[in-house]
Amino acid sequence: MLTRLTESKIAVRIRKSDIFETIKHSQNYFLAQIVTTGLAFISIPIFTRLFTQEDYGVVAVFNAYIAIAIIILSANSFTSVGRYYFEKESDFNEFLGTTLILTSIIFSISMVLFLLFYSQIASLMKLPDLVPILIIPASIFIIANSIYFQIIQPQRRSLESAVISILQGSFSLVLAIILVLLLKENRYLGKMWATLLVGFIFSLYYLVQIIRYSKLSFKKNHVYYILTYSIPLIPYALSGTILAYFDRIMINDAIGAAPAGIYSLGYNIAMLLAMVISATQTALMPDFFDFLNTKQFQRLDALVNKVFSIITLAALGLILFSKEIVLIMADVKFHEGLVVVPIVVVGYVFFGMFTVYIRYIDYMKKTYYSSLIMILSGIVNIVLNFTLIPQFGYIAAAYSTVVSYFLLFLMTWIVSKFILKQKLTPLWKIWKPTTLLFIYFSFYYLLSLVITDFFFQIFVKLIVLTIFFVTVFHREIKLLLFRTD
């Protein structure tokens, strides 16, 4: 009886905590991220065996160009939907209608220009055959997806978000496997066609739902909001995309599709951490703005600290078990990409720091600072990749990622604190779990020099990860287990 009462008290405390709502929605978003962004990881055992290194590289570079094309072809005009929702205005449906019309006009003009200069653009991309033309429909489908999710995510409809993403990702994966198996050569086309066919079907659903929320209009004040919010973010979005994808484009351009494929394998595994960051930050966003609006800074600081502790826990686990993940998941011809994983994971830890402090700039609506920061980081990334990849190979791209993301975080923190003079979550609340991450990994690395047995290494890794978990969450564990009130 006493045990049941204790369990009941613990359950109540968990549900009343700020982190509970965040984690509850994070787990739904995390499922969605696994199926969308994380499909590259889930499909690794399949496609590393069905694809050549060149095929894998072509798909990776194709996806990189899509990410860039979405921003350029739409002028980033669709990205203000989620932000306008938090304005709590009564005319959201009319704003959404204006966004649809404006985005359609801009995209149509851009598409015509793309087709007029297609031969020149295709030669620059160095993609085979007519692959570049597929970028246009792929971009349309992703824009429709983004607009719909910008509507439902602020409403905390995380379960719906996860279910839709799981269905779309699952259908895309199954169809891709079927089409790839049917092709004898150029198997990368099977993956692309599957993505487009499933994207088309789901985009019809998204558009039907979006129209339900929208009222077609074209108001000047809405256009002004879109232009003043989204247009200044074009350099920000474009530079962010360059940071995330330009390395694969540069590797393909400098040393070929096969090295790009090997690097992409390691990068895709490291991007598991990006999924954790995206899931937790998406769930955190409503509370973040609410706590700032109501000046509940201590609650915000505590929540950010807990969220970042989750991120560092995931990072440590990924670094510790990266070798086992690669050996199990990837075909032997991709195993050399293992060296990329821990380096890129460290880069994404710094990216996680950036996602915290960029919220303060978004809150102040000073998006030109965001763009400037991204541009500078993007320039650094381009220069480093352009200079170092031809000399040192794809490993240089991994280190360029670390340097670029660290600068991204540092500049964002400086702008938020010293220029915008915001009351920020103290830096030590983020650096404390990060420092512990490096200490615990260094401790394991020293142990691994004397431990040679494979299974004993696995056991030690689990122990290290468990101790880290207890260390960063000891207060929460103690509060839940031993508080008597």
Q: Which of 183, 198, 230 is the last residue of a domain?
A: 230
Instruction: Please state, in angstroms and rounded to a whole number, the distance separating the CA atoms of residues 8 and 2.
Output: 10
| Buried-exposed string 78-99: b where 16+ CB fall within 10 A, e elsewhere | bbbbbbbbeeeeebbebbbbbb
The pLDDT of residue 287 is: 80
Domain-embedded: residue 30: no
pLDDT band at 483 (very low <50, low <70, confident <90, very high): low
Q: What's the domain count of the chain?
A: 2
Domain-embedded: residue 235: no
Do 189 and 290 lie in a common domain? no
Higher-scoring residue by pLDDT: 396, 15: 396
Do 186 and 329 lie in a common domain? no
Q: Is the pLDDT of residue 16 over 60?
A: no
Q: Which of 230, 263, 283 is the last residue of a domain?
A: 230
pLDDT tens digit string along 147-165?
998 888 776 676 777 788 8
Higher-scoring residue by pLDDT: 269, 34: 269
Domain-embedded: residue 356: yes
Location of structure tokens 């599957």: 194
Q: Please report, rounded to a whole number, the percentage of residues in the chain having pLDDT higher than 70.
A: 89
pLDDT tens digit string along 210-226?
988 888 888 888 999 98
The pLDDT of residue 272 is: 85
Across 99-128, average pLDDT:
92
Q: Are 235 and 374 in contact (CB under 8 A)?
A: yes
Is 100 buried (19+), middle (13-18) or exposed (0-12) by CB count in 10 A?
A: buried
The pLDDT of residue 31 is: 60
Average pLDDT, the chain: 86
Q: Is the pLDDT of residue 397 over 90?
A: yes
pLDDT tens digit string along 427-469?
899 999 999 999 999 988 888 888 888 889 999 999 999 999 9
Q: Which of 197, 230, 263 is the last residue of a domain?
A: 230
Do 45 and 10 lie in a common domain? no
Instruction: Please state, in angstroms and rounded to a whole number, the distance separating the CA atoms of residues 375 and 372.
Output: 5
The pLDDT of residue 435 is: 93
Across 168-179, average pLDDT:
92
Do 205 and 60 lie in a common domain? yes
The pLDDT of residue 5 is: 45
Domain-embedded: residue 240: no
Q: Is the pLDDT of residue 321 over 90?
A: yes
Do 10 and 68 lie in a common domain? no
pLDDT tens digit string along 237-289?
888 888 888 899 999 888 988 999 999 989 988 988 988 888 787 777 778 87
Instruction: Please state, in angstroms and rounded to a whole number, the distance separating the CA atoms of residues 69 and 101.
Output: 19
Q: Is the pLDDT of residue 37 over 60?
A: no
Do 355 and 220 lie in a common domain? no
| Buried-exposed string 193-215: b where 16+ CB fall within 10 A, e elsewhere | bbbbbbbeebbeebeebbeeebe
Across 67-95, average pLDDT:
86
Domain-embedded: residue 332: yes
Domain-embedded: residue 440: yes
Do 200 and 269 lie in a common domain? no
Q: Is the pLDDT of residue 32 over 70?
A: no
Supply 294's token pair: 């109501």
Higher-scoring residue by pLDDT: 155, 408: 408
- Residue 26 neighbours by CB under 8 Å, 6+ apart: 279, 280, 282, 283, 310
- Residue 443 neighbours by CB under 8 Å, 6+ apart: 464
pLDDT band at 400 (very low <50, low <70, confident <90, very high): very high
pLDDT band at 34 (very low <50, low <70, confident <90, very high): low
Do 275 and 395 lie in a common domain? yes
- Residue 196 neighbours by CB under 8 Å, 6+ apart: 134, 137, 138, 141
Do 181 and 270 lie in a common domain? no
pTM of the model: 0.78
Location of structure tokens 């558009």: 207
The amino acid occupying position 302 is: A
The pLDDT of residue 363 is: 84
Across 32-43, average pLDDT:
64
The pLDDT of residue 2 is: 46
Supply 143's token pair: 């824009």
Domain-embedded: residue 31: no
Do 203 and 268 lie in a common domain? no
pLDDT tens digit string along 45-56?
888 899 999 999
Domain-embedded: residue 28: no
Do 196 and 308 lie in a common domain? no
DSSP letter string, 37-82? TTHHHHTHHHHHHHS-HHHHHHHHHHHHHHHHHHHHHHTTGGGGHH
Q: Which domain holds residue 437?
A: 1-22+249-485
Do 206 and 259 lie in a common domain? no
